[in-house]
Amino acid sequence: MSQDEHPLQSTTITESNVPLLEGLTTTRAIRRYRDEPIPEAHLRDMLFAATRAPSGSNRQPFRFIVLTDSANAHKAKSLIAGSAQEIWAQKEQNDGYSKGSGADPNSPKSRMANTMRSYVDNFATVPALILPCLVRYRAADPMEGASVYPAVQNLLLAARALGYGGVITGFHRPVEKELKSLLGIPEDIFIASTVTLGKPQGNHGPVRRRPIRELVFADAWEHSPAWAVDPPGTRFTSAGPPKNKT
Amino acid sequence: MSQDEHPLQSTTITESNVPLLEGLTTTRAIRRYRDEPIPEAHLRDMLFAATRAPSGSNRQPFRFIVLTDSANAHKAKSLIAGSAQEIWAQKEQNDGYSKGSGADPNSPKSRMANTMRSYVDNFATVPALILPCLVRYRAADPMEGASVYPAVQNLLLAARALGYGGVITGFHRPVEKELKSLLGIPEDIFIASTVTLGKPQGNHGPVRRRPIRELVFADAWEHSPAWAVDPPGTRFTSAGPPKNKT
């Protein structure tokens, strides 16, 4: 096959009709996937977009390990699935997901718990598992994430553009050593997160956050400017896991 | 003025025609700004988009301090400008920006050095300075950046969508203590970066990175898949500051 005929030689395989600003405000964490593999051309486009992100001095210390259907991929998925199931079972109990409003199967709390349970139970069969990694050039530093997480966000946004969705987790952390051994990742590499990707069973759409006056200040800490007003129709959520644990 | 008449009540003030995927691959670091303030409605849209980013357990631990034209804003800009000028002067010397190809005023190295010198020299008058901060809920952790830098990337992408541009730096770090005192930022808050924003003097467009086969692996570390092919016309750059220091 000559280079000219290669399907990956087109500039962009799939045209996305989502405008940039709309994409930024409507990319949800997607945890339920259809049982469909992601074509290599789409993986290429997503990873290409991820690697366009900025990094300190343009050092590009980010690396992405893509795991879909190989023996290693299945082993890595199973390894992290086990960790995910343990972490979630613990969190579900600690954060009281089945108590309080969690007893009502239609409450947001119950629905979140159901989504998470289904996510960890099906983790071993996610269409694609990506491990974004950071090659450090100096000792670990709190600002080093500025050279890898913008690329992770680009990955999630590119997935959105191409009709996919995903979510960032830290479920690899308890099995980091085994993962490094399985995939030949050098000891000094930081596995920055676990990202799962696939065709959403649900839909993207406006996300819920705290009112922006609680998040956006001007001129001084906790001084919210008059212009920090959410657009009409914005729906809100409080921050973090359930507060009501009883 | 009733809520209905408030200019910030429109869903989006400026329609962006940049498609999402294209926006991700053509957002450059912008360091030269036109001398134009950013209207509050645009600041609002950018910060709204920033706060739509994901964070661990949707805790939304990110906060943004926006500094434009107040007394505090001018003081903060001047403070960081001084630090930026010192850091750049040191780096220019250490990394040999004026040596080797840097002696040729048209080399990429010289042009980069000129851009950086102009950036730090004009830092005190950037149209907007944003300090993204992280409210920690546990001890500092290498993965905490996953809850603030995706929001910073959204901010830069939203700027792109609305005709602006910006860049992430760490120039605040040597003056963090003075900044916290000036702006009333509590001791335990992590200032995650400095972001400057404004109307670009130049243009956005395709960015240069290493070939994706060096950044994207499948199934194992440093095992580049056949599909990791850059689109035709992609231009490359090596990683990081100049290697040739003589």
For chain A, domain boundaries? 17-204, 208-239
| d(CA B135, nearest CA chain A) in Å | 11
A19 pairs with which residues across the strands? B19
Rounded Cα distance, B112 and A213, in Å: 38
Q: Is the dihedral of CA A49, A50, A53, A57 positive or negative?
A: negative
* Most B-contacting residue of A6, A13, A24, A69 (CB-CB within 10 A), to test interface: A24
φ and ψ of B197, to 5 deg = -135, 150
CATH topology for B17-203?
NADH Oxidase (3.40.109)
* Most A-contacting residue of B15, B111, B149 (CB-CB within 10 A), to test interface: B149
Rounded Cα distance, A172 and B131, in Å: 30
Distance of CA A218 to the CA centre of its chain: 29
Indicate the residue of B48, B219, B237 with minimum beta-carbon distance to A25. B48
For chain B, say whether A67 makes contact (Cβ under 8 Å): yes
Amino acid at B133: C
Task: Grade residue A245 by pLDDT with cuts at 50, 70 and 90.
Answer: very low
Say yes or no for a CB contact (<8 Å) between B6 and A173. Answer: no
How do residues A40-72 score in pLDDT, each as one tens digit?
A: 999 999 999 999 999 999 999 999 999 999 999
Residue A107's pLDDT is: 87
φ and ψ of A44, to 5 deg = -60, -50
Closest to A81 in 3D by CA, of A118, A120, A48: A120
Does ipTM come in above 0.95?
Answer: no
Tens of pLDDT along chain B (246 residues)? 333 334 444 444 444 689 999 999 999 999 999 999 999 999 999 999 999 999 999 999 999 999 999 999 999 999 999 999 999 999 999 988 888 888 888 888 899 999 999 999 999 999 999 999 999 999 999 999 999 999 999 999 999 999 999 999 999 999 999 999 999 999 999 999 999 999 999 999 999 999 999 999 999 999 999 999 999 999 999 767 766 544
Please tell me the CATH code under which domain A17-204 is placed.
Answer: 3.40.109.10
Say yes or no for a CB contact (<8 Å) between A231 and B72. Answer: no
With beta carbons less than 8 A apart as the criterion, state whether B14 and B45 touch.
Answer: yes
φ and ψ of B129, to 5 deg = -120, 125
Rounded Cα distance, B18 and B9, in Å: 23
In chain B, which residues have their Cβ closer than 8 Å to the Cβ of A23? 20, 23
3-state SS class at A100: helix
In chain A, which residues have their Cβ closer than 8 Å to the Cβ of B227? 8, 40-41, 43-44
pLDDT at A208 over 90: yes
In chain B, which residues have their Cβ closer than 8 Å to the Cβ of A132? none
Cα Rg of chain A (Å, integer): 20
Residues 46-65 of B with CB under 8 A from A: 47-49, 51-54, 56-65
For chain B, say whether A5 makes contact (Cβ under 8 Å): no
H helix or E strand, kind and range, residue B47: helix B40-50
Q: How many other CB atoms are found less than 10 A from the CB of residue B105?
A: 9
Say yes or no for a CB contact (<8 Å) between A20 and B216. Answer: no
Q: How many other CB atoms are found less than 10 A from the CB of residue B183?
A: 23
Q: Is the dihedral of CA B100, B111, A143, A65 positive or negative?
A: negative
For chain A, say whether B163 makes contact (Cβ under 8 Å): no
pTM (predicted TM-score): 0.93
Amino acid at B18: V
Q: Is the dihedral of CA B136, B138, B139, B143 positive or negative?
A: negative
Q: How many other CB atoms are found less than 10 A from the CB of residue A93?
A: 12
pLDDT at A6 over 50: no
Task: Grade residue A243 by pLDDT with cuts at 50, 70 and 90.
Answer: low
H helix or E strand, kind and range, residue A65: strand A62-67
Cα atoms in the 13 Å half-sphere on the side-chain side of B151: 32
